[in-house]
Structure 1
Amino acid sequence: MACDSSLSRLPEDCVSRILSLTSPRDSCRMLAVSKQFRGPAESNLVWDTFLPSDYKPRPSNTCPSPSKKELFFALSDYVLVEAGKKAFRVDKSSGRKCYIVSARELSILSNGIDNIWSWKSNPESRFCEVAELETSSMLSIEGRIRTQTLSPSAKYGAYLIIKISNQAYGLDSIPCEISIATGDRKIASNTAYLRDPADGKKHILQGLFYGNRGEMLKKRVDQLGDQRVPRKRDDGWMEIEVGEFFNDGGDEEMVMSLKEIKGHHLMGGLIVEGLEVRPKE
């Protein structure tokens, strides 16, 4: 390729500087194109630009310092931060910051009483505890994050990470309201059903149980959105997209919420691990 030939005539540090203006994905692709680019594509100069600017590795007297590329990929898996209240990683494709706010850091209330939720350990969770809804006739989950902690000039999505227990009931009789707001400005608004997409039989039985009352309540909120449902994640949990926003580099507090519209019926069996904020393509 002519492009490859032109690059190969440049000094390695020049190629590294060019690659530092691209992305982690592009640098890895360059490694696959030709072995002659291995040096520039793996250089600390390139991967230092992909690491978060506020990241400072802890020095060690016993272990050799890893390369910047090794540090980057070590951070591409979630690590606990802020005394285990949040999890942090960098996105492998873009190098942008991602966070999961644990259930303990969310505002989780029901009927104004917080002991309707129980706190339990879960071997599949990255946090010490998850929250499980015992029984209630009202549901409100709210998470907050400041945009200055995220990567600037990037579009982000917010996702509630959940499981639905085998004994769950009443969660998807009517849709929930999901929204993202900052200050008095609502950025995104939609509706969602808290149901396991793989459990169609339970959905049919609940539809028969609630009957016409559920259909009447659904009509009240049909105009709010497209009624999202959870989808499976690679880590064994499910997630439901709350909404998206663009981080322009300012310092705003994003408030992400899921609220069950009052239907005066009991529900239980929702398990919440946290709320993830990650970049979108």
Structure 2
Amino acid sequence: MSSYGQKTKPGRQRLKRKEYILPGSEVIGKSGSILTYQKKKLEDLPAKCISRIISLTTPRDASRLALVCPAFRSAADSDSVWEKFLPSDYEGFISNSSLIDKKKKDLYFHLCRNPILFDNNTASFGLEQESGKKCYMAGAKWIYENSGISHRDCEMIPSSAGSRFPEVIELKLMSSLEIEARFGTTIFSPKTNYAAYFVFKFAEFREGPETSPIDFEVYFDGSHNGKKRREFLDPQLSQDRGNRWIEIKMGEFSIENGDEGTVVCRLSEPEPLSKRGTIIFQGIEVRPEYGRVND
């Protein structure tokens, strides 16, 4: 006789407080009804619940989870998930373009692979694919118009293949060169380490470097505590971006909450260049230290 005045059949058991029941087990409830416990699978959860769980992961994880099963694919591809991966201010960059009608997942990967231009096509905005962190590039014209180029032998010219911007600047290395770009830190993703890159190419093909070095600095305005990097404009030591465009790392900085003020990316000559030549300056790109935006 059971404690509730009923006999239990073999294989059945009373459900007691704090007792764990194996999936498939039959138990007798307090009212005397027979209950069978079945193991629930994650994909049996409501679609909104699955979407919520996936939105707490990363873009990379969401893409992988979409391959698990149809229920996951539907949730992982939903706008509610990918809206979470897009930066809060993304609509300001696409409000006047056809991108506003794209599904959020398609928009995300479009911004990763095709940075969009703004400020009269003088700057670009994109996303780093692995994390969704924001990336920016100040074009040569943008820097020039903001008094960021101190060089008398420069000329604005139409861009060539592989450039992100319609115009670039030709710099003749015949006198003192100084370039400075300033970025307000509120535009960057919080809790992120960033690196700045000087993007250029030589007007004519060459294998060797300029014989005089260039100083690169990245620091927060008012602190000037960044490390100075001295590099040669050397195609062999630079990162290739395709179509003869190359980049040199200028330095790094860390964003915590976006209230650090202004970050300064500066290039200068410690001494006049001893070898004369001409470079085509495309701009200064700032992106998360561990990734880059594709051109």
Q: C-alpha distance in 2, partners of 1:235/1:147?
A: 31
Which ranges in structure 2 are unaligned for 5 or more consecutive residues?
1-39, 291-295
Q: C-alpha distance in 1, partners of 2:95/2:241?
A: 32
**Which of the pair has the greater relative contact order for Cα pairs under 8 Å at 6+ separation?**
1
Picking from 116, 127, 139, the partner of 1:102 is 139
Picking from 64, 84, 97, the partner of 1:29 is 64
Relative to the length of structure 2, the TM-score reads 0.74
Is 1:129 aligned to residue 138 of structure 2? no
Structure 2 partner of 1:144:
182
RMSD (Å), alpha carbons: 2.5
Secondary structure in structure 2 of the residue aligned to 1:232: strand
Seen in structure 2, the aligned counterparts of structure 1 residues 184 and 58 have a Cα distance that, compared at 3 Å, is: closer
Seen in structure 2, the aligned counterparts of structure 1 residues 120 and 73 have a Cα distance that, compared at 3 Å, is: same
Picking from 128, 153, 156, the partner of 2:191 is 153
Structure 2 partner of 1:208:
none
C-alpha contact (below 8 Å) 2:47/2:71 kept by paired residues: no
1:108 is matched by which residue type in structure 2? I
C-alpha contact (below 8 Å) 2:174/2:273 kept by paired residues: no
Is 1:14 aligned to residue 39 of structure 2? no
Q: C-alpha distance in 1, partners of 2:172/2:96?
A: 46
Secondary structure in structure 1 of the residue aligned to 2:226: strand
Structure 1 partner of 2:9:
none
Instruction: Note the alpha carbon deviations across 1:214-265, whole angstroms, 9 max, x for none.
Output: xxxxxxxxxxxxxxx3110256521111011111123321101121211463
Which ranges in structure 1 are unaligned for 5 or more consecutive residues?
198-228
Structure 1 partner of 2:154:
117
Q: C-alpha distance in 2, partners of 1:161/1:187?
A: 20
Q: C-alpha distance in 2, partners of 1:69/1:169?
A: 42
Q: C-alpha distance in 2, partners of 1:108/1:254?
A: 16
1:278 is matched by which residue type in structure 2? R
- The more displaced of 49-58 and 94-103 is 49-58
Q: C-alpha distance in 2, partners of 1:64/1:83?
A: 19
Is 1:66 aligned to residue 102 of structure 2? yes
Is 1:54 aligned to residue 75 of structure 2? no
Seen in structure 2, the aligned counterparts of structure 1 residues 7 and 271 have a Cα distance that, compared at 3 Å, is: same
1:92 is matched by which residue type in structure 2? Q
Is 1:40 aligned to residue 75 of structure 2? yes
Q: C-alpha distance in 2, partners of 1:241/1:153?
A: 21
The structure whose Rg is larger is 2
C-alpha contact (below 8 Å) 2:208/2:234 kept by paired residues: no
C-alpha contact (below 8 Å) 1:50/1:95 kept by paired residues: yes
Is 1:261 aligned to residue 273 of structure 2? no
Seen in structure 2, the aligned counterparts of structure 1 residues 243 and 249 have a Cα distance that, compared at 3 Å, is: same
Q: Give the CA deviation at 1:59.
A: 8.0
Seen in structure 2, the aligned counterparts of structure 1 residues 104 and 165 have a Cα distance that, compared at 3 Å, is: same
Picking from 157, 172, 181, the partner of 2:210 is 172
Q: Give the CA deviation at 1:18.
A: 1.5
Secondary structure in structure 2 of the residue aligned to 1:92: coil
Identity of aligned residues (%): 35
Q: How many residues align?
A: 241
Could you say which structure has the higher helix fraction? 1
Seen in structure 2, the aligned counterparts of structure 1 residues 135 and 264 have a Cα distance that, compared at 3 Å, is: closer
